A and B are shown apart, each in its own frame.
Chain A
């Protein structure tokens, strides 16, 4: 498979349309890879494809919104949904991207256990055989576990978590749905987000982020992967997603490049519970 990916990269460089391609390369640790920016055919040799390719390749394109040539991206299923997310949110232009989709075999990341889209949803070339896929029954297991608690137990569960949070904002930085030019949390004049480091401020951040991305979360799990304090961040966004599924019908985000998030829509027949 690695050879097929390399060939696809070489072909892309040959066409002259692609400026650089984002993939993965080996590090001095056998069980780690790091993102690779191939700028010419010579760099293709460095590309690796193994179960340690856990970094998302998608979000780097946001740093280069006005590229001279197309940006090539090697995509797993989740990365393709990240790209779809950012195109839907009008942050990337499809015509600026050259997408090399690779059917993923699952990586060394717990999130991969509940993956429902190993085959990329958008691509220019696809490598590998598309697999049949279904939504994991474990998708909302964590949410349901918390739902079974009493309000106080739930609060205490999250209190322990948010006491750990160091507000490094790594979850935001890696999230493809967090694509604002300036995050609300970085603004100081509106006063949305206090800068103090305490449980309450951490909770405000956690809840606000969940609400901001909840109806657009593609469930790639990058937020939990990068969290240095191991917070169960996904169970916040998946709570939103579960409610969206329950209230507005089956929803998975980031499957098309023209997605309408539920909070930007309404239906006259929405459930009425505020009468």
Chain B
């Protein structure tokens, strides 16, 4: 027979004023299983807890119900209290007679009745509580960072500096991301490469960081502290172990293709580094461009290479490694504006370029060595139109959100044009100017003082006439039509999530929103965590942001990772789902419903008459299960039960209310 003790708290007068606590305690004595009940002024106080502990001993109780404030307040307190007693901390139920009774009711008689009902429900439930035990899982002290942009670089460096091993995976042949393409950064106008390349070099030289470029995530298994990640290292066709990066192959390669790094404004050889300061500073062969790999002709680089690094037989390699934590830092790309905005020429005018193309144009290491020249005829443009919010804040054609950085780099572009081209005219079309950041508003102000013209309105059409780009728009402040004869147009286009984020999110069991941005665990209070334990995020993969925010977030994610990896093991909640394999039919209905991918179907051996057969059953991964209970309802048989909220416990609560 169970021996239940019921403890009714006065909470000073908070409860006792509206609920006759003595009557509740008296009524509780008649509930099945209850052998003891009493009241106390403050159960949560030290003397209160001591009284409960003493009573447990004296009355030989094996489970208790505390009628007090909400369990969200003191469930943890009382569980801790029980740790020192012979009662398991989970042999406890709390009846919420304060927040959901005494504080919300005025009629003492009725409130007391309700408190008795709530106590009875809790007693009925606690009778079916089983002792539960937390288990601890070991933590692999290695982190995986996915994405080698400034977010990933910063996170990797911070984690590595704290003394933990990091593997940094980048799908391109060099780390650096979008920041490496930029010229100067607002509002300080320091050179982007000058501040990011030292960090890139730090990554390559850090003893705790293993860099895997040209690599992508193939699959992810396991759970917090114990992820098994398979990484596909794409064929480089160059043996980086012996290559010195002399660059001979690059200069002699006869094939030239459009350079992605230069945003299509220049060409690159089929073998080579992504850009001059690439890390690692060693070339790879682009299999989609290399003549030798496409039709077997050429092979010049192999003949020229003094060390024999070229290997046309190279193949993709799959490596599986164990990690304790994962940081997602996959960043963004720019929206494909061509199809969405045919009124801007849809890409047919060479001198209508994106902000990122402008960055390459104005970059000293770019195709025009920093001279702003029209891509069509390499002449210096005199009148330049900048259009902001192309694809952003445009739910009909593009994205509903604001891309956050465009107002500032738009101002920076205007500044750079005015700085580099004497007598240039810059007209910026905008919806709003948003400059929330330190020294941002001042920068924007200065740009206008320098002579940039800001016109509030959208450009409705761009067409070519006599070698000029005519931009038709409206100045909505003056309510009149505007036409600008421009030599060049810069579109500040929207950021969109990197390709493949949905697949990656699927593998990691994390959520993305309708746009594809990774969803954080809580928008305010858990901004760098995801809903999957051990998976963190930073940078633009979570939503558009500028470099300072990205770096700050990377540091935050790193500190979460360090906090996790500093532990040798972690406790898991015992309130997770459990499968009764004998009843499980293996229908797999629960598998899809689990938001954490904690359920898998596995074959187990069972005796079936004279033979042993393989029976498929659901298995719960205790490290992944977060205890939501969605699977319980999916199971018609009821063979998955959430410990602490089992079917019979809830049914007993229902029944006992109705008695």
Whether chains A and B associate is yes
Q: Which residues of A contact B (CB under 8 A)?
A: 65-66, 89-91, 179-184, 187, 189-192, 212, 260-261, 263-265, 268
| Residue of B582, B601, B613, B637 with most chain A CB atoms under a 10 A cut-off | B637
Find out whether the CB atom of B638 lies under 8 angstroms from the CB atom of A184: yes
Find out whether the CB atom of A187 lies under 8 angstroms from the CB atom of B638: yes
Find out whether the CB atom of B593 lies under 8 angstroms from the CB atom of A264: yes
CA distance A182 to B580 in the complex (A): 11
Q: Which of B582, B585, B593 contacts A179 (CB 8 A)?
A: B585
Find out whether the CB atom of A268 lies under 8 angstroms from the CB atom of B514: yes
Find out whether the CB atom of B588 lies under 8 angstroms from the CB atom of A90: yes
> 1/0 contact trace for B568-592 toward A, CB 8 Å?
0000000000000011111111001
14 residue pairs bridging A and B, Cβ less than 8 Å apart = A65-B613, A66-B611, A89-B585, A179-B585, A180-B585, A181-B583, A181-B639, A182-B637, A184-B636, A187-B638, A190-B648, A190-B651, A212-B636, A264-B592
Find out whether the CB atom of A190 lies under 8 angstroms from the CB atom of B587: no
Find out whether the CB atom of A183 lies under 8 angstroms from the CB atom of B587: no
Q: Which of B584, B587, B608, B648 contacts A189 (CB 8 A)?
A: B648
> 1/0 contact trace for B623-650 toward A, CB 8 Å?
0000000000010111100000001100
Residues of chain A within 8 A (CB-CB) of B613 are 65-66
Q: Which residues of B contact A (CB under 8 A)?
A: 514, 582-589, 592-593, 601, 608, 611, 613, 616, 634, 636-639, 647-648, 651-652
Known: A184-B636, A187-B638, A212-B636. 19 other contacts (CB 8 A): A65-B608, A65-B613, A66-B608, A66-B613, A89-B585, A90-B585, A179-B587, A180-B583, A181-B582, A181-B637, A184-B638, A189-B648, A190-B638, A190-B647, A192-B651, A260-B592, A263-B634, A264-B634, A268-B514
CA distance A131 to B634 in the complex (A): 37
Find out whether the CB atom of A90 lies under 8 angstroms from the CB atom of B587: yes
CA distance A260 to B592 in the complex (A): 10
A265 nearest in chain B by CB position: B592
Residues of chain A within 8 A (CB-CB) of B592 are 260, 264-265
| Residue of A65, A179, A190 with most chain B CB atoms under a 10 A cut-off | A190
Residues of chain B within 8 A (CB-CB) of A268 are 514
Shortest 3 CB-CB distances between A and B: which pairs? A66-B613, A180-B637, A181-B585
Find out whether the CB atom of A182 lies under 8 angstroms from the CB atom of B651: no
A180 to chain B, nearest CB (A): 4
A190 to chain B, nearest CB (A): 5
CA distance A90 to B638 in the complex (A): 17
Residues of chain B within 8 A (CB-CB) of A66 are 608, 611, 613
Find out whether the CB atom of A90 lies under 8 angstroms from the CB atom of B514: no
A177 nearest in chain B by CB position: B636
Residues of chain A within 8 A (CB-CB) of B634 are 263-264
CA distance A265 to B593 in the complex (A): 7
Residues of chain A within 8 A (CB-CB) of B589 are 89, 261, 264
Contacts A182-B637, A264-B589; is A191 near B584 (CB within 8 Å)? no
Q: Which of B593, B601, B616, B651 contacts A191 (CB 8 A)?
A: B651
Find out whether the CB atom of A183 lies under 8 angstroms from the CB atom of B585: no
A184 nearest in chain B by CB position: B638
Find out whether the CB atom of A181 lies under 8 angstroms from the CB atom of B584: yes
CA distance A261 to B587 in the complex (A): 12
